[in-house]
Structure 1
Amino acid sequence: MRTVADDLAAYAARHPRRIALETPAGRVTHGRLAARTEGLTRRLRAHGARAETVCAVAVEHGADAVAAMAAVIRCGAAFLTLDVTQPRDRLAAFVRGAGARLLLTTSAHAPVLDLGLPVILLDRPADVLPERPVTPPPPVDPRALAYVSHTSGSTGEPSPVLVEHHALDAYLRDTARAFGLGPDTVALQTAPLGYDASLRDTFAPLLAGARLVIVERSRLLRPADFVRTVREHRVTALLSTTPSFLAHLAGQPDLADPLAGVTLVASSGESLRPFLAAGGRRTVPGTLVNQYGPTECTMTTTRHVIPAEPDTTADVVGAPRPGTVVRVLDAGLEPVPDGTVGEVYIGGAGVARGYGGQPARTAACFLPDPYGPPGSRLYRTGDLGRWGPQGLTYVGRTDRQVKIRGHRVDPAEIEGALLAHPRVGGAVVTAHTDDRGRTYLTAHVTGDLTATADAELRAHLARSLPPHLMPRLFRRHDALPTTRGGKTDRRRLVTGGTP
């Protein structure tokens, strides 16, 4: 198959001097990016990268990260991008879960990571290699693995989701078309490496010949710096903003017209309804798109363009993108009537291969599609929804997973980390919503914790968990409430523990 990386190389041959990237280290032309990609492709092939080889990429976002991912695609291999700001133990778990066999990193990060893999140092000269590959790269197998992205799992351990080349390629091309991206587009990279949304941010604009702006992460987290960045670089498109960040931006009284000049804002990761209900639509002067879809279905399955006067009583996520299907089914896998709530199942082009090393969970979540052609599958999302005149409306979740600042979180992962503390005897994490519509976590703990401050518990969690998994509050209990069957009664904690 012809890949996105092939198209980037072809575009660079036609327009070598056009700017592809604006980075903290300076501007990078398409020609320079293509040359860097070609050099890394040769190095990867010399190290044996081929179909089903998982290559971990652990660098700050910039030209090398983009070139590394593109080079892996050119080899027909798969990449696992790592957010180097996360704890080492968590990154090591990701690498093990993905079955990575190569590590692409820099001399600064290599000693810290030390993950026991062969290492390609991107900031060091390559070993002596032939100037050109001995044989042309074989065509990329559409069904070969393209990337691995982790989600929280019901066991408390991050689960590696395996996405194939045909799914990634179709999604990126569709995104570029659907959003009308082109050479006049200036897109800002907002999603960090390690999250699948970063692939949309990176490759959809480049595929369309647009300019991609990459800045230090700290500039994206502070509203004033974010607005300054948007204006300095004349950003026109934001492809991966969360409703929480949009609400935070809208709540800054000193920032007038924070998104002036931005013609497209695509939001995803959590419900957009609280932002709209608070009058946030007027903060976005251009097109606002609500995106919906799980990691297991290649990022986005449905899209809905929010009108200037939106309906704030429902979270409409819209119509499926081309090549995908959405079914709303009852417990017996029968379609429910329009307007009736059921569980959302997704099929078609974006459905992932499954979970790496977890055949039982794969079998439970990826089911044969009883209404599709032979061999087709459905992913059971765990989301509740209903069909209406504007498409699919998201209603809620069937399980405990929640969204925190755009990240899908399973409380079991946090509970497991808490129980590893020597003085924690029991732990349950519950989700709550504050008066501004933001979801946060409360940790309910038992044990001999008289001399253990909240700060110590946070420090313990920070050794293995990223910031979005950190509870806002810790509540101590003599004993956790239980049901008559002896299970923890989470409902009593939710109703009785909300601050």
Structure 2
Amino acid sequence: MRTFVDDIAGHAARHPGRVALSTPDGDLRYAELAARVETLAGALHARGARPETVCAVALDRGADAVAAVAAVVRTGAAFLTLDVDQPPARLAALVRSGGADLLLTTSALAARLELPVPGPPVLVDRPAPDAAAAPPAGPDPDTLAYVSHTSGSTGEPSAVLVEHRGLDSYLRFTAREFGLGPETVALQVAPLGYDASIRDTFAPLLAGGRVVVLPRADVLRPGPFGAAVRSHGVNTLLSTTPSFLSFLAGQPDAAGLLAGVRLVLSSGESLRPFLTAGGRSLIAGELVNQYGPTECTMTSTRYRVPAVPDTGADLVGTPIDGVVVRLLDDALAPVAEGAVGEVCIGGNGVARGYRGRPGRTAELFVPDPLGPPGSRLYRTGDLAAAGPDGLRYLGRTDRQVKIRGHRADPAEVEGVLLAHPQVAGAVVAAESDDQGRVFLVAHVAGALAGTTDAALRTHLGSALPPHLMPRRFVRHTHLPTTRSGKTDRRALSGSGGAR
């Protein structure tokens, strides 16, 4: 099949001098990017990269990271991108659960991270003497394209297996639906290691556009962000979260920060707080609210937010091309028109399942009772109702929440807290501030008199990414229990003082 890497090569052949990437180190043209991809693909192929091989990519943001991911796809293998700023223990867990067979990194990062990947790494900063030509044929649609992770209740992240069919269909939909092309200048916002960065980077490149890649610290600060938008002529933001938009909206020169941006795609959490605060007026161009889980290749529905939005509902719109969305009850039967049901997603984007978790895969990836033979649905655990503008999101059936665009299971934080020698009990709850932003509160019990909050944060930080860090720790002599002896989570809801 044809992949986005073939499109990059096509642009390089037709327009070799067109700029593909703008970085602090300068511009990289399409011909240079394509050549770098071929070189890395040859090195990977020589080391055994084949269909179903999982290649971990541990690189700093920049041209090398973009070329490395494309090179993995060029060999027909699957990529697992890592955010190298996360704790090494967390990265090691991702590599283990993702089943990485090869590591693509630099000599310095290889020494610092010491990731448990078999064999010596393929180093982008050291030419490989045994490099060979990459295979001429593209991957089959049903082979593995990438591995992404979601927060899990076991303490280990869950590895989601996404196939080339889903990835290719989604990237081409994004380019087509939103008119991406040679005039597109997109700022890479999402961090590496999260599937949103795939959309950020490769939808514009597939369309022949330009991607601006800057250090993450610069992207997240309003001054450098606005300077980047102005100096590079950024007109497209494909992976913003409502929290980030709300942060920008709170700046004195909020409208100026987004001046010239004609397309903003937002996803990952509720857009309602941003809209309720009047944020829509700050975006002169198109604002699109997207919805979809990692298990369904990033995005399943979209909603174009009008200039005067409806702030009374959390609207996530209608299915994208090739995707089926059904609202079903517990027996997987369709709910009545207008009634609340569980969002179940089918079609091109449905992932293969979770690596190494057949029971969980069978529980959530189920046969589609209304579809053709062999079709499947992913049970999201999200609740919604259908209306004239598409789906109206109504919450979860479980404890999962969205924090700054990342799916978070409080049970994962509880598991790490309970590994601390002084913590005898832990309950992590989600709360919201007066602007609707979700954060975590950790309720802990045990012999904690000599253990500071800073020490607990250090313990958590050794294993968890920043978005899973509780904002507060509430200490209890004993955690309250129900009559059956289970922890009484309701009694802890909104609790702010020690007991």
- Find 1:123's aligned residue among 102, 122, 125: 125
Shift of 1:144: 0.6
Equivalence for 1:435: 434
* SS at 2:399 equivalent: coil
Q: Where does residue 257 of structure 2 map in the other structure?
A: 258
**Aligned equivalents of 1:376 and 1:58: distance in 2?**
35
Quote the offset at 1:66 in angstroms.
1.1
CA distance, structure 1, for counterparts of residue 91 and residue 332 of structure 2? 37
Deviates more, 1:96-105 or 1:225-234: 225-234
Structure 1 stretch 369-378 or stretch 117-126: which is displaced more? 117-126
Q: What percent of counterpart residues are identical?
A: 67
Q: Distance in 2 between matches of 1:155 and 1:487?
A: 18
1:75-114 pair list within 5 angstroms: 75-114=75-114
Aligned to 1:47: 47
Question: Once the 2 structures are TM-superposed, how far is the Cα of residue 285 of structure 1 from its aligned partner?
Answer: 1.0
Q: How many angstroms does 1:257 deviate by?
A: 2.7
Q: Is the 8 A contact 2:171 2:202 kept in 1?
A: yes
Instruction: Output the TM-score relative to the length of structure 2.
Output: 0.98
Contact 2:3 2:138 in 1 (8 A): no
Q: Is the 8 A contact 1:304 1:318 kept in 2?
A: yes
Q: Deviations over 1:162-203 (max 9, x none)?
A: 000111000000011111111111000000110000000010
Mean alpha-carbon deviation: is it higher for 424-433 or for 255-264? 255-264
- SS in structure 1 of the partner of residue 107 of structure 2: coil
CA contact (8 A) 1:8 1:206 kept: yes
- Please give the secondary structure, in 2, of the residue aligned with 1:148: strand
Query: Does 1:397 find its partner at 2:396?
Result: yes
Q: Matched residues in 2 for 1:125 and 1:50: separation?
A: 20
What SS does the corresponding residue of 1:425 show, helix, strand or coil?
strand
Per the TM alignment, residue 138 of structure 1 is displaced from its structure 2 partner at its CA by 3.5
Task: Give the Cα–Cα distance (whole angstroms) in 1 for the partners of residues 497 and 302 of structure 2.
Answer: 33
Which 10-residue stretch deviates more, 117-126 or 270-279? 117-126
Q: How many residues get paired?
A: 496
Structure 2 match to 1:60: 60
| Aligned AA (1:14) | R
Q: Answer yes or no: is the 8 Å Cα contact 2:255–2:283 preserved in 1.
A: no
* Residues 240-249 or 478-487, more deviating: 478-487
Contact conserved, 1:224 with 1:255, CA < 8 A, in 2?
A: no
* Stretches of 4+ aligned residues off by more than 6 angstroms: none
Instruction: Look up the equivalent residue of 1:126 and give its one-letter code.
Output: A
Cα distance in 1 for residues equivalent to 2:56 and 2:353: 19
The whole-number CA distance in structure 1 between the counterparts of 2:474 and 2:249 is 31
The verdict on how the C-alpha distance between 1:387 and 1:126 changes in structure 2, with shifts beyond 3 A counting, is same
**How far apart, in 2, do the equivalents of 1:17 and 1:473 lie?**
52
Question: In the alignment, does 2:493 pair up with 1:491?
Answer: no
* Structure 2 Cα separation of the partners of residues 484 and 147 of structure 1: 46
Partner of 1:288: 287
Q: Does structure 2 retain, via aligned residues, the 8 Å contact 1:328–1:342? A: yes
DSSP-derived class of the 2:460 partner: helix
CA contact (8 A) 1:21 1:213 kept: yes
User: For residues 423 and 491 of structure 1, what CA distance do their matches in structure 2 show?
Assistant: 24
* Structure-2 change in CA distance of 1:180 and 1:92 (3 Å): same
Name the counterpart of 2:445.
446
Residues 301 and 320 in structure 2, CA contact (< 8 A), matched pair in contact too? yes
Could you say which residue in structure 2 is the equivalent of 1:209? 208
Displacement after TM superposition at 1:497 (Å): 4.1
Q: Which amino acid aligns with 2:408?
A: V
2:423 aligns with 424
Deviation of 1:254 (Å): 4.3
> 2:4 aligns to what?
4
Code of the aligned partner of 1:44: L
Conserved? CA contact 2:226–2:256, under 8 Å: no
Does 2:300 align with 1:298?
A: no
Per the alignment, residue 147 of structure 2 pairs with 148
Amino acid of the structure 2 residue aligned with 1:106:
T
- Is contact 1:417-1:464 (8 Å) kept? yes
Q: Which residue of 2 aligns with 1:273?
A: 272
Deviates more, 1:477-486 or 1:279-288: 477-486
SS in 2 for 1:108: helix
| CA displacement, residues 320-339 of structure 1 (integer Å, 9 cap, x when unaligned) | 01110000111221111222
Aligned to 1:224: 223
Query: Would the aligned equivalents of 2:97 and 2:156 in 1 still touch at CA under 8 Å?
Result: no
Matches within 5 A, 1:185-196: 185-196=184-195
CA-CA distance at 1:253 after TM superposition: 2.1
SS of the counterpart of 1:408? Answer: strand
Q: Distance in 2 between matches of 1:100 and 1:65?
A: 17
Q: Is the 8 A contact 1:156 1:411 kept in 2?
A: no
Aligned partners of 1:121, 1:260: CA distance in 2, in Å? 40
Instruction: Indicate yes or no: 2:368 matched with 1:366.
Output: no
| 3-state DSSP of counterpart to 1:496 | coil
Compare 436-445 and 136-145 and name the one that shifted more.
Answer: 136-145
Query: How far off is 1:98 after superposition?
Result: 0.9
Inter-partner Cα distance in structure 2 for 1:372 and 1:178: 25
Q: Deviations over 1:314-366 (max 9, x none)?
A: 01100101110000111221111222111110000000000000000000110
Instruction: In structure 2, list runs of 5 or more residues that go unmatched.
Output: none
Q: Which amino acid aligns with 1:195?
A: Y
Mapped to 2, the partners of 1:408 and 1:415 lie a distance apart of 15
Distance in 2 between the 1:498 and 1:179 partners? 49
Residues of 2 paired with 1:58 and 1:115: CA distance?
Answer: 9
Change (3 A) 1:157 1:129: closer
Q: CA deviation at 1:255?
A: 4.0
Q: Which runs of 5+ in 1 are unaligned?
A: none
Match in the other structure for 2:314: 315
| Alignment check: 8 A CA contact 2:39 2:131 kept | no
Q: Residue 48 of structure 2: SS of its match in structure 1?
A: coil
Contact 1:250 1:283 in 2 (8 A): yes
* Counterpart AA for 1:439: V
Residue of structure 1 in register with 2:164 after alignment: 165
User: 1-side partners of 2:91 and 2:51: how far apart?
Assistant: 23
How far did residue 495 of structure 1 move? Answer: 3.8
Find the residue that maps to 2:391 and give its secondary structure. Answer: strand
Task: Report Cα offsets for 1:412-464 as digits up to 9, x if no partner.
Answer: 11111111111111111000000111101100000011111111111111111
TM-score by length of 1: 0.98
Matches of 2:441 and 2:263 in 1, distance apart?
A: 35
Query: Counterparts of 2:107 and 2:421 in 1: how far apart (Å)?
Result: 36
Alignment of 1:345-356 (within 5 A): 345-356=344-355
* Letter of the structure 1 residue corresponding to residue 446 of structure 2: G
Aligned partners of 2:255 and 2:169: how far apart in 1?
A: 38
